[in-house]
Amino acid sequence: MPPSHPGKSPSIKDPFIELSMKGYGLIAATDEVGRGCLAGPVVAAAVIMPFPCGIEGIRDSKKLTDKKRRILSAEIKKNALSWNIQEVSVSEIDTIGIQRASILAMTKAVKNLSVKPEFVLIDGKISLPLPIPQKGFIRGDDISIAIGAASIIAKVYRDDLMIELDKTFPGYGFPSHKGYGTELHCSLIKRLGPSTIHRTTFAKVKEFV
């Protein structure tokens, strides 16, 4: 059996490894990034990794440096059997709510994989409206190497997106906080007012609309 996933406790078994050992060959994993942000879309990635994975250092993307995430993201994309990234816009988040928007993004990412999975691993205790066997895990990106891989490529994609959006919406500091509700970001929203990519249904934005 491959070594334990380096980001998790040895007492917690990686469901990707367990399912692979049971004979599942095409296991998709999905995770979203940007759920708690005040600005920008929510982004989800889905990925089908080979077994054994063969990439060292995959774990929850938030626990990695930007440089390490980018190195791993390139390796994951190169080695994955299939991967896909999807966005759900700010206007849709404000219309249907962040929970439903996150589920929609993950569902779209899995649906748009070039290979149909036999099983789906999800970050969070949720289910996706898909006719595929699936299971969600709290802190899944730190428990499973496959969910961690999805977390990494989604995070790198969204970070780059927010850096690019800074060119259209300058002054909010998106390259530094990527849209999260930092003290700096909140102070800039208060001073400049919300932009069209701020989530106006979120409390820290709504009060300044």
pLDDT band at residue 135, thresholds of 50, 70 and 90? very high
Nearest Cα to Cα of residue 138 among 11, 15, 20: 15
Q: Mean per-residue pLDDT for 11-36? A: 93
Residues 6+ apart with CB under 8 A from 157: 33, 43, 45, 85
Tell me, what's the pLDDT at 112? 98
Domains and CATH numbers, the chain: 15-168 (3.30.420.10)
**Alpha carbon distance 105, 124 (integer Å):** 14
Full DSSP string of 138-174 = TTHHHH-HHHHHHHHHHHHHHHHHHHHHHHHSTTS-H
pLDDT digits (tens, 9 = 90+) for 80-95: 999 999 999 999 999 9
**Alpha carbon distance 180, 198 (integer Å):** 11
Tell me, what's the pLDDT at 60? 82
Would you call 43 helix, strand, or coil by DSSP? strand
Whether the CB-CB separation of 39 and 198 falls below 8 Å is answered with yes
Question: Locate tokens 């990412």: which residue?
Answer: 109
Tell me, what's the pLDDT at 12? 63
pLDDT band at residue 97, thresholds of 50, 70 and 90? very high
Residues 6+ apart with CB under 8 A from 208: 189, 190, 193, 194
